[in-house]
Amino acid sequence: MSSTSKRGLSEFALIAKLFAPLATAKAAAGLKDDVAVLAENARSDLVLKTDAIVEGVHFLKDDPPETVARKALRVNLSDLAAKGADPVGYLMVLARPAHVTDKWLKAFSAGLKSDQQRFSLSLLGGDTVRMPGPLVIAITAIGRVPKDKAIRRWGAKPGDLVFVTGTIGDAGLGLELLKQKRRSPRGPIEKYRLPQPRLAFGRKLRGLASASIDVSDGLLQDLGHIADVSRVCVEIDAVRVPLSRALQTAWGRDERATLRAASAGDDYEIAFTCRPDRAARVRAAARAAKVPVTQIGEITRGKGVVLLDADGKKIPIGRKGYQHFG
Amino acid sequence: MSSTSKRGLSEFALIAKLFAPLATAKAAAGLKDDVAVLAENARSDLVLKTDAIVEGVHFLKDDPPETVARKALRVNLSDLAAKGADPVGYLMVLARPAHVTDKWLKAFSAGLKSDQQRFSLSLLGGDTVRMPGPLVIAITAIGRVPKDKAIRRWGAKPGDLVFVTGTIGDAGLGLELLKQKRRSPRGPIEKYRLPQPRLAFGRKLRGLASASIDVSDGLLQDLGHIADVSRVCVEIDAVRVPLSRALQTAWGRDERATLRAASAGDDYEIAFTCRPDRAARVRAAARAAKVPVTQIGEITRGKGVVLLDADGKKIPIGRKGYQHFG
C-alpha cells in the first residue's frame, strides 16, 4: 500500500500497521511491493495496481480533461513499467461532482482513448458515482509479465548500482509554476500534467534489474522502500541526481536544489538497482528504448537512504524528504 | 460501466456513448456486463469489478467505520456473487479527508479483516490519497469462476423465469430512516449499512441461471440491463415482488409501495433468470444456501421492463424508476 498523501511517518506507519496484516495472500506479499503479482498460468503472472488522482491534489481544476485522463491512467502504467509488465487493461471509478460537465467528460474519454492506443490496453469496466466533493479518478491497472519475471522492490544487494530514468523534480516544479499561474517553462508543466510511463524500458529491465520502483512520492522516499524491503542502505551521490536545465534555472543546482527535487513527487520515473556486471546491458537497453538513465549511487550494507555530498559526507535529510515506511 | 449516480437517462447514455467504445478487449464485452471476465488459464476465468462508495451518498458520516468498510467490500462481492464467482482478493483506494482519524481507520481495518475471513479473500494492494472532500473508498474485487461459467447479463431467453433473492427496497427504507435520525426498525437500517452478498447461492447458480445481475441501482433499473443486452422483455408481476414486513408497514403494500421499493437502490440482492425446467433445481439450491428466492415474472419477446398489476395491466413506471441504458 503506497501513500501519495504526504502525511509523513504516521501515515506510512499506520498503513503498515493496519493494512499490511490484511494482505494475507501470497500475491500481496504483505504489501512490501506496491503491486500485487497474481499467478495467471504456467507462462505468465498478472500485475495489479490501483492508484487514484484527486482534483486539487494530483491535478488542478483547470487542467485540460485530456491530460487529467491520461495522468490518471499513466500513474498506474508507471507502476506496471517499474515491474517490467505489459499493460492489459484497466478498471476505472469516476466520482463525479456536479461541476464536471458532459463536455468535459467527452474530452476526458478522448484522452483515455488516445492513451489506450498508445499503450495497447483496454478499458475493462468501471463505475461512476455521484460526488459531493472534488473529482476523483481511481484506476486499477492490470499488466502481464512472463512467469516470475516481475521486478520487485526487495532484490537489491550490497554492491548493486542505483539508476534512475529521466530527470527528477520537474513535476514538482511544474506544479509550483501552475500554482503561480505561470505557463512557462513548458517542460516542467508538461511533466506534472502528463507523466511518461517507461513501459518500453521497463520491459527490458526484466532479468536485468535486481529491484525497481516507480518514483511517485519523491526519489528519496521511494528509494527508502527499496532500502526497507531489501534490507540494505541506498547511498545516493547528490551531484549525480539528474536535474533538468529548467529545474537548475528555477531552483539552482546546489545540494538544497537536489534535496528539493529528490523530495518532490509526481516524477513517474523508474528507480532501479542492478548488479555491476549488468550495467553495460542496462545502458544498452536504455539507448535502445531512447530513455536517459543515470547511475546515481550504490547499494551498501546498512539501512535507509543516505544522500552524500561531493566529499562523501552525509547531507541531512529533513522531515519533508525521505520518510521511513515501517 | 454501471452507474450508481441516479442521474437518469443522460448519465447512462453518456457512459454508453463515451466509455463503451473504450472497452475494446474481449474481456470487457463492450461493457455489456458490469464485470470484466479475463481468461486466466485452461480451467478458470477471473472476474473483475470496481465499485466505490462515497460518504454522504452511499454511507453516512456517522455510520460505524466497521460497517462502512464491510459495505465498501460487499458492494463489490455482490457483483461477484451475481456472476457465480468465488472471491480471491481486492485492491483498495482510500481518499482520506482530514476528519478521518487514525482511530476511525483502525476500526475500519477491523471491519475489513472480519469480512476477509468471512468471505475468504485477501487485500492485494492499495493506495491512500489526501482528500479535500468526503471519504471515498474505491475497491476493485477479483473473483474466480470455472472456465466459461461466469453468469452474464445477456443469456435471458423468452420463456425464462425471473427470480430475485431476499426482499427489495429495505435498504432504501433504511437510508430514509437514518436520514430521519431514526434507529428502528433495525432490519432496513442493517440492510442499508451491511449488504449480504449472496456468494454461496451465486456459486450454485453456475450452469443454472441464464442471466444474472446484482441489484444495486434498483430492481427495475437493473433488470433493464438484462432486458437490453439479452434483447428481451422482462415482465414483472408487481404483486410478486418480495417486500419485507417492515417495508410494508412503512410504505404500504400497494402498487405505489412496490414501485418505490423496486426503484430504491442498495439492495445487493441477485436478480436472475432461468429456463422453466431448471426452476426446481434453483429452488433446491436456494434452500441449500438458506437464501429466500421468489419468482417475480418471466421473460417475453420485446424489450425493456414491464411491471404488471394483478389484472395483467401495465403499471406506468415513472422517471425515477427504470432508466434505459443505451
- For residue range B291-317, what is the model confidence (pLDDT) as tens digits? 999 999 999 999 999 999 999 999 998
Question: Which of A19, A52, A126 is the closest to B93 by Cβ?
Answer: A52
Do A278 and A284 touch, CB atoms closer than 8 A?
Answer: no
Question: Which candidate in B80, B91, B112 is best for mutational testing of the A interface (most A CBs within 10 A)?
Answer: B91
The residue-averaged pLDDT of B11-37 equals 86
A116 and chain B: CB distance < 8 Å anywhere? yes
Question: Which of A21, A31, A130 is the closest to B125 by Cβ?
Answer: A31
Output the pLDDT for position B96.
93
The residue ranges of chain A whose pLDDT is under 70 are 1-12, 319-326
A138 and chain B: CB distance < 8 Å anywhere? yes
Output the pLDDT for position B288.
97
Output the pLDDT for position A15.
76
DSSP of B20-37, one letter per residue? Answer: GGG--SGGGGGGSSSSEE
Three-state SS sequence of A209-227: EEEEEEECCCHHHHHHHHH
Question: Which of A3, A25, A89 is the closest to B89 by Cβ?
Answer: A25
Contacting residues for B88 by C-beta, under 8 A, at least 6 apart: A25, A38, B46, B121, B122, B142, B143, B144
User: Is 50 exceeded by the pLDDT of residue B323?
Assistant: no
Distance between CA atoms of B69 and B59, rounded to whole angstroms? 10
3-class secondary structure, B270:
strand
Chain A residue numbers touching B123 (CB-CB < 8 A): 19, 22-25, 28, 31
Chain B residue numbers touching A53 (CB-CB < 8 A): 129
A7 and chain B: CB distance < 8 Å anywhere? yes
The residue-averaged pLDDT of B118-131 equals 93
Q: Give φ, ψ of B292 to 5 degrees.
A: -70, 135
pLDDT digits (tens, 9 = 90+) for B139-194: 999 999 999 999 999 999 999 999 999 999 999 999 999 999 999 999 999 999 99
A41 and chain B: CB distance < 8 Å anywhere? yes
User: Is 70 exceeded by the pLDDT of residue B321?
Assistant: no
Output the pLDDT for position A8.
43
A72 and chain B: CB distance < 8 Å anywhere? no
- Counting other chains too, the contacts that A184-193 makes at CB distance below 8 Å and 24 or more residues apart are A185/A246, A185/A249, A185/A250, A187/A244, A187/A246, A188/A244, A188/A246, A188/A247, A188/A250, A191/A266, A191/A267, A192/A266, A193/A59, A193/A63, A193/A64, A193/A67, A193/A71
pLDDT digits (tens, 9 = 90+) for B43-99: 999 999 999 999 998 999 999 999 999 999 999 999 999 999 999 999 999 999 999
Distance between CA atoms of B51 and A83, rounded to whole angstroms? 26
Type of residue numbered A56? G
Angle subtended at Cα B77 by Cα B72 and Cα B78, rounded to the nearest 5 degrees: 100
Output the pLDDT for position B4.
43
Chain A residue numbers touching B41 (CB-CB < 8 A): 40-42
Does residue A146 have a cis bond before it (omega within 30 degrees)?
no
Output the pLDDT for position A225.
94
B127:A2 CB<8 A:
yes
Distance between CA atoms of A163 and A292, rounded to whole angstroms? 10
pLDDT digits (tens, 9 = 90+) for B230-248: 999 999 999 999 999 999 9
